[in-house]
Structure 1
Amino acid sequence: MRTFIDVLRDNTIHGDRAVTFVRTNGQERRVVYPELWAEASRRARALQALGLSKGDRVALILPEPDEFVLSFVGALTAGLVAVPMYPPATLAKLEAYGDTVRHVLAASGARVVVTNDALRPLIQEHLLGSQSADTRLVLERELGAIDPGSAHTTLPDVRGEDLAFLQFTSGSTSRPKGVMVTHENLSVNSHAIMFDGLRSTPEDRGVSWLPLYHDMGLIGFVIAPVYALVQVMFLPTMSFIRRPSLWLDSIHRFRGTITFAPNFAFALATRAVTETQAGGWDLSCMRALGCGAEPIQADVLRAFLDRFAKNGLSPESILPCYGMAEATLAVTFHDLGKPLTTDRIDLATMKNGKAAPAQDDAPSMELVSCGRAFPGHEIRIVGPDGAPLGERQVGEIWLRGPSVTAGYFGDAEATAESFGDGYLHTGDLGYRADGNVYICGRSKDLIILNGKNHYPQDIERVASTVDGIRDGQCVAFARRSTSGAEEAVLVAESRRLGEAKRALVEAVTHAVRAELGVQLAEVVLIKRGTLPKTSSGKVRRRETKMRLENGQLDLVGEPSDDASAPFDSSAVPSPRAPARETETRGAL
């Protein structure tokens, strides 16, 4: 099987194929396949000229898509191990960002950090710290200034077993660990994505605003498409966040057929795109609308499909997925071209580990099918003893196959824990129904009250329906009470700082108790934008719990009304219609 480097080299015969980069200032840069290989080779030799040898690690902190992609392919062409890192979005929270930078550099042993002129002072003066003595800072533009005498320097032979890059996990449950992704992993998973999952042809076109320092954007749109000769347009991530219409407008202009995004992006586009912006769009070209990387709400996907149906968007284009960094990227895909498949299950039986179909009048939740494993890969649902479970029994998901990566760089203990018994122990909870995989949550996040299992995602989902709580901006977890029993706690961002705290807390408590039968011991309201999250936007439950215990959360102030006044039940906001959700974790 050809490596990514082989494919880049072989694709030089396709001068009509290209990747298109849209920079933050709106300028477009089109790089045809022959130029892509020439730039990869040029940058590879420039990195060699710095004294780097095959297997050395090189970190990339580059905000512009063309800067990142061209430097990344140059590093891999030189046989180096790339370490993608997210750039600082703002000057806020620099201390936490600096801690992450220093941790990743130390854990990876990166000898060089490639960045641009704008970020160099910030990184050198404020982020590297004592690490700067061991790490060389190199400007991206310098990689193009090669000594002509080195133009014929021999490039190393890159084999399938060689490391390609370290994908540092987002750290939602622990400090980031570097997943070791080999060139064979990339080749196998790219084929699974493009041919088994997407059934791609060279007529396809990809559009992506996804961050390139995470695997869904990096593998899904930089690496995998070149195997199928699929041309891709890259948009700046922050440009999409500021103007969500950019995503769908680019699909219309570029005639995109493949795109992927997390659940929040579908909700954001449905809410923020105006009729004027969408008026002239033709989205009938879109055939694979992938969704993953965070909990998926069926209602959000249905609302998105309904909102843009008049623009020609097909309901059969929706493609829920499941994956994670430890499996390179993709694990399962929904069957392409089939409508959204969901399963409404009984909440009472779920608490006992059984996903029984709900009766009409029973409390229920709706989960989205994430499809089946790719050919050559095996999924098991197992109990606490590792024994396989039957249909509709909830257990931990184990995975085996050539997409499973080599473990965590420099962390033998964590590797043995997660990659034992010939399977990747994902830590995700799920079940099978009619051959499809449904994801329920994380095993370590379970809240067990009076012997019953409760998923924090369910509590968070219901809390988000209460008017005054920011949608999706809340965290539920368990803690020990003074009596030693486990109790449930919710931390949530308030949408309006002037909200009467007691009324809002009562509304959340009532909504969760009414729908789930869970009594919250405490509801803590914090200020907008202060919930701890990973670089990919996932909530950090354990860090939130620790900050609450240490008094480090930025709490909402007391309401302006008289705190001594008796509670007025009429002030309780009414819950909005409850959303239904599933969760897909990790990379996809």
Structure 2
Amino acid sequence: MVRIFCTAGARRHPSRPIWPLRALSMRTLIDVLRDNAVHADRSVTFLRSSGDEHSVSYPDLWLAARKRAHALRQLGLGRGDRVALILPDPDEFVLTFLGALTAGIVAVPMYPPQTLAKLETYGDTVRHVLAASGARALVTTDTLRGMLEEHLIGSSDRAAEASTQIVLERSLHDVTGFDADAPWSVELDDIAFLQFTSGSTSRPKGVMVTFRNLAVNSHAIMFDGLRSTPEDRGVSWLPLYHDMGLIGFVIAPLYALVQVMFLPTTAFIRRPSIWLDAIHRFRGTITFAPNFAYALAARAVTETQAAGWDLSCMRALGCGAEPIQADVLRTFLTRFAKNGLRPESILPSYGMAEATLAITFSDVDSTLTTDRVDVLSMRAGTAKPAAEGTALELVSCGRPFPGHEVAILSPAGKTLGERQVGEVCLRGPSVTLGYFNDASSTQDAFGTGWLKTGDLGYFAEGQLYICGRAKDLIILSGKNYYPQDLERVVSRVDGIRDGQCVAFSRLDALGGEQAVVVAECRKRTPELVQAVMRAVRAEVGVQLSEVVLIKRGTLAKTSSGKVRRREMKQRLEAGELELAVAEDSGGAMPPHVGPRSGATAPLLDGAG
């Protein structure tokens, strides 16, 4: 177990131990907005899809927050009420979010519809979050209002949302009776907003994030982790309705007087070069992104686009939110080394919404640290260093923040030692209050005095390594296999879309566990199925029972891009997967491909 504490004075968190914290961190976000208003030379900048830039100075940010707070209160919303936000434009989202918090109203960030093709599923999510949060109002745009009303009114659960008032964002611009000198204040232990989980393993739950949580975690990120100064500049394309984009780039930088440029998320997905170009132009020093973004940028950015970039300004190139692959980060660093990108800039990290945001950071001045472990020993629950031959390479996520404890616990709650694999558990002032109106789930995750993350990991030389999700383990003949290891191999098979696959286990006809892969491809062929099977057998030692090849864009994911393994398993068992088109080879593709000797279930190509 790792115990790390600061030596400064302590403040008490309700129902939690006294944790040492610096007094500077104990300002509420509203205090910070007010205090920052004296810095007229500092601002946040929003790059719109049109290419126009919209900068809001710190004084104007504080003024806009108070005006929108006043407008929300005029709607009849009071302290502690919930207001949902579905606002695609980053500037309008940020100003309305800060306005809600300034008024003491609990914000409920929600993601806008990603595509018109899946509105039914999106409507289910909207109804669930509104009902779970008890939101009295939903702030959105003219463009989305009709679609949202159609999905809400058309629901059989309409009674649950009947009290939710739809408010147009533009109506918050024009306020009457606003008093610029009126005092605005919130308490550290007030709930600031509900961060609904991504729903990768269950229905989204509303994490209760307090102003104290935000103050503590922002301080840990900006000062303990990034060792930031006002000379830093942030660049982010991350969605603002998720914690890494919202806390990491809207809230935390305000505590350190760090200016930030926000890019449209959709613009990055369409043209990844916009991210690195903004770092070059804005002289960005801090940015964060999931693993997939580094792979996408390294692959999609052209030599012409990168020709004039100077990336030597970047000192904290953060990576988190999904499994981190060492080869992806190394490829990215190598690809842009000639543009001045330093290997020391890479900064893997680990966190989750239930811990506000960040739990561990790598050293901001160190190069990539990895651990090569023996595959066979990992299956037995010990991360033994690999001598030679086949090995699993894991990326260090760094060390816990001061004032927080991270432990590796067995299923029985026993503290495990160095290099023993168990569940990652956390306690400290960044741990949130639990899930809104969900006592059962709160008890399950928070009830032991530790936040049970559900992630498997181990410590080696004081650094945390994450292996996977406990409930996603594939157990075959008593041996543990991590789905991410299978997925990493499958993604490299020619013909499979990079990163667009899931691995899981399911019972065969005799009740035994068998391994399954579901992957996106352009054309399904027996040869591609066999190539996937050979690769997994050769590199991981697993004989797949099924390889199911599905259409592009049909792999179930959360709004933050995480794969939904359990949903894909349920779809497979219900026969609901959309198979990729079989390549025309002069005859029908056979439903079974080469069953292995002794198999108790046929080797399917996706026929279900």
Match of 1:202 among 212, 230, 233: 230
Write the distance in 2 (CA, Å) between the matches of 1:49 and 1:434: 56
1:45 corresponds to: 70
Give me the CA root mean square deviation.
1.4
Conservation of the 8 A alpha-carbon contact between 2:67 and 2:178: no
* Residue number in structure 2 paired with 1:577: none
* Cα shift at 1:160: 0.7
Query: Which is further off, 18-27 or 533-542?
Result: 18-27
Q: Does 1:543 align with 2:541?
A: no
Name the amino acid aligned to 2:290: P
Q: Tell me the equivalent position of 1:265.
A: 293
Q: CA deviation at 1:155?
A: 5.3
Match of 2:543 among 508, 519, 527: 519
Map of 1:400 onto structure 2: 427
1:573 match: none
Instruction: Give the structure 2 partner of residue 586 of structure 1.
Output: none
CA contact (8 A) 2:582 2:589 kept: no
Alpha-carbon displacement from aligned partner over 1:213-238 (angstroms, at most 9, x marks no partner): 00000000000000000000000100
Q: What is the 5 A alignment of 1:134-173? A: 134-147=163-176, 149-151=177-179, 154=182, 157-173=185-201
Determine the structure 2 residue equivalent to 1:528: 552
Query: Are residue 232 (structure 1) and residue 232 (structure 2) matched?
Result: no
Residue pairs, 1:30-69, within 5 angstroms: 30-69=55-94
Aligned residue in 1 for 2:416: 389
Match of 1:502 among 511, 515, 526: 526
Runs of 4+ residues over 6 Å off in structure 1: 564-567
| Larger displacement relative to structure 2 (153-162 or 523-532) | 153-162
In structure 2, the residue matched to 1:443 is 470
Q: Which amino acid aligns with 2:568?
A: T
AA partner of residue 226 (structure 2):
L
Distance 2:180 2:165 in 1: 25
Corresponding residue of 1:468: 495
CA distance in 1, matches of 2:152, 2:384: 51
The aligned residue for residue 176 of structure 1 is 204
Q: What is the CA–CA distance in structure 2 between the aligned matches of 1:535 and 1:8, rounded to whole Å? A: 29
Distance 1:515 1:286, change over 3 A: same
CA distance in 2, matches of 1:142, 1:453: 55
Q: Which amino acid aligns with 2:543?
A: Q
Which structure 1 segments of 5+ residues have no match? 570-588
Correspondent of 2:370 among 329, 342, 347:
342
List aligned pairs for 1:14-29, cutoff 5 A: 14-29=39-54
Which residue of structure 1 aligns with residue 162 of structure 2? 133
Query: For residues 331 and 478 of structure 2, what CA distance do their matches in structure 1 show?
Result: 36
Tell me which residue corresponds to 1:421: 448
Distance 2:588 2:130 in 1: 53
**Match of 2:66, SS?**
helix
* 1:177-210 deviations in Å (ceiling 9; x for gaps): 0000000000000000000000000000000000
1:289 aligned partner: 317
Residue 396 of structure 2 corresponds to which residue in structure 1? Answer: 369
Aligned residue for 2:454, secondary structure, equals strand
* Paired residues of 1:45 and 1:155 also in contact (CA < 8 A): no
TM-score, length of structure 2 as denominator length: 0.91
Q: Aligned runs of 1:556-567 on 2, under 5 Å?
A: 556-563=580-587
Letter aligned with residue 258 of structure 2 = V
Task: Give the secondary-structure state (helix, strand or coil) at the position aligned to 1:553.
Answer: coil
Q: Return the alpha-carbon distance in structure 2 between the equivalents of residues 86 and 565 of structure 1.
A: 40
When normalised by structure 1's length, the TM-score is 0.94
Q: Distance in 2 between matches of 1:439 and 1:25?
A: 40
User: Cα offset for 1:566?
Assistant: 10
Task: Give the distance between the partners of 1:133 and 1:163, measured in 2 at CA.
Answer: 24
Tell me what 2:149 maps to: 124
Greater relative CO (CA pairs within 8 A, separation 6+): 1
Equivalent residue for 2:505, pick from 454, 468, 478: 478
Partner of 1:213: 241
Instruction: Give the Cα separation in 2 of the matches to 1:549 and 1:64.
Output: 39
Amino acid at match of 2:331: A
Deviations 1:70-113 (A, max 9, x none): 00000000001000000012211000000000000000000110
Q: Aligned pair in 2 of structure 1 residues 28, 555: CA closer, same or farther (>3 Å)?
A: same
Q: Are the equivalent residues in 2 in contact too, given 1:45–1:153 (CA < 8 A)? A: no
Whole-angstrom distance in 1 between the partners of 2:76 and 2:163: 14
Give the unaligned 5+ runs of structure 2. 1-25, 594-608
Contact preservation (8 Å) 1:345, 1:355 = yes
Residue 126 of structure 1 aligns to a residue whose secondary structure is helix
Q: CA deviation at 1:514?
A: 1.0
Q: Tell me if structure 2 keeps the 8 A contact 1:292–1:320.
A: yes
Aligned residue-pair number: 563
Between the aligned partners of 1:99 and 1:566, the Cα distance in structure 2 is 37
Q: 1:157 offset after TM fit, Å?
A: 3.0
Deviations 1:417-476 (A, max 9, x none): 000221100010000111100000000001110000011111111111111111111111
The whole-number CA distance in structure 2 between the counterparts of 1:563 and 1:384 is: 52
3-state DSSP of counterpart to 2:367: coil
In structure 2, how many angstroms separate the alpha carbons of the residues matched to 1:398 and 1:548?
32
In structure 2, C-alpha distance between the alignment counterparts of 1:155 and 1:114, rounded to whole Å: 24
Identify if the C-alpha distance between structure 1 residues 510 and 74 changes in structure 2 by more than 3 Å, giving closer, same or farther: same
1:127-153 alpha-carbon deviations (Å, 9 max, x no partner)? 454255311111111111111x24369
Q: 1:556 Cα deviation (Å)?
A: 1.6
For 1:154 and 1:540, how far apart are their aligned partners in 2?
47
Are 1:3 and 1:183, in contact at CA under 8 Å, matched by a contact in 2? yes
CA distance in 2, matches of 1:564, 1:321: 48
Amino-acid identity (%): 71
Contact 1:181 1:405 in 2 (8 A): yes
What SS does the aligned partner of 1:76 have? helix
In the other structure, the counterpart of 1:456 is 483
1:313 Cα deviation from its structure 2 partner: 0.5
The answer (yes or no) to whether the contact 1:78–1:155 under 8 Å persists in 2 is: no
Which residue of 2 is the match for residue 106 of structure 1? 131
Structure 1 residue 117: deviation in Å?
A: 1.5
Once the two structures are superposed, residues 310-348 of structure 1 have per-residue CA deviations (whole angstroms, 9 ceiling, x without a partner) of 111111000000000000000000011100000011101
Equivalent residue of 1:306, what SS? helix
